[in-house]
Homo-oligomer: A and B are copies of this chain.
């Protein structure tokens, strides 16, 4: 797993506030202390409004073994210029217990979107 900006994403010189969607994928995600949590695997867009609704994060895994995708509402991510990364200010345990799917699984957004919203909408820690 590499946290570097993917190469070959296009011949564009971006502004400090704007990024090509093809380059968001692969962006680093860290916690409020700047510690690496993972990276962005993909982002989900609302077709009509053009608003990013969810980020699909790639957490953990070593050489791809045990890697999982964690979809979470976009508003849980804040872009931090100093870190040049997206910050997710959530306890690691909350992220670990969150809805996720294996990299070889097919994730059904229609069926599962509700669970994601419900999980992250609550500020209570998940049931153990």
A residues with a Cβ closer than 8 A to B are 9-15, 17-22, 24-25, 41-48, 50-54, 56, 74-75, 77-79, 103-110, 113
Some 7 contacts from A to B, beta carbons below 8 A apart, are A12-B42, A13-B108, A15-B109, A20-B42, A21-B25, A45-B52, A50-B74
* Contact of B18 with A109 in the complex, beta carbons under 8 Å: yes
Known interface pairs A48-B79, A79-B48, A103-B11; A21-B18 also in contact (CB < 8 Å)? no
| Cα–Cα, bound, A44→B109 (Å) | 23
| Cα–Cα, bound, A120→B103 (Å) | 41
| Cα–Cα, bound, A113→B47 (Å) | 23
* Contact of B42 with A106 in the complex, beta carbons under 8 Å: no
* Contact of B17 with A46 in the complex, beta carbons under 8 Å: yes
Contacts of A78 in B (CB 8 A): 48
